[in-house]
Amino acid sequence: MVNDAYIEHNKTKRQAWLLVPILFVIILLIALFGDRDNDKLLQPKLLESSPAGLLLELPNVSTTKAGDWKTQWNPSSDIARQQVLQSLSEYAADYKQLRTQLEVWAEPGSTSRDQLVQRIGSALERYDLGEVKQEANPAVTQPAKGILLICAAADKELALRMLAALTPYISGEVSIRFETNLAAQTMRLYLFGTPYFNDQGQAKFDRVDI
2-56 pLDDT, tens digit each: 555 555 655 555 554 455 444 443 433 333 334 444 556 778 999 999 999 999 9
Q: Does 150 score more than 90 pLDDT?
A: yes
Lowest mean pLDDT among 11-20, 87-96, 146-155: 11-20
Distance CA(191)–CA(118), nearest Å, equals 12
Average pLDDT over residues 182-199: 92
pLDDT given at position 209: 54
What is the b/e burial string over 46-55, where b = at least 16 CB atoms within 10 angstroms of the residue's CB?
Answer: eeeeeeebbb
Contact 153, 178 (CB under 8 A): yes
Average pLDDT over residues 123-148: 79
Around Cβ 187, how many Cβ atoms within 10 Å?
Answer: 23
Phi, psi (rounded to 5 degrees) for 11: -65, -45
Contact 187, 155 (CB under 8 A): yes
Average pLDDT over residues 198-204: 91
Average pLDDT over residues 176-201: 91
**Alpha helix segments (H runs only) across the chain:** 2-33, 37-40, 79-94, 111-126, 156-166
pLDDT given at position 36: 42
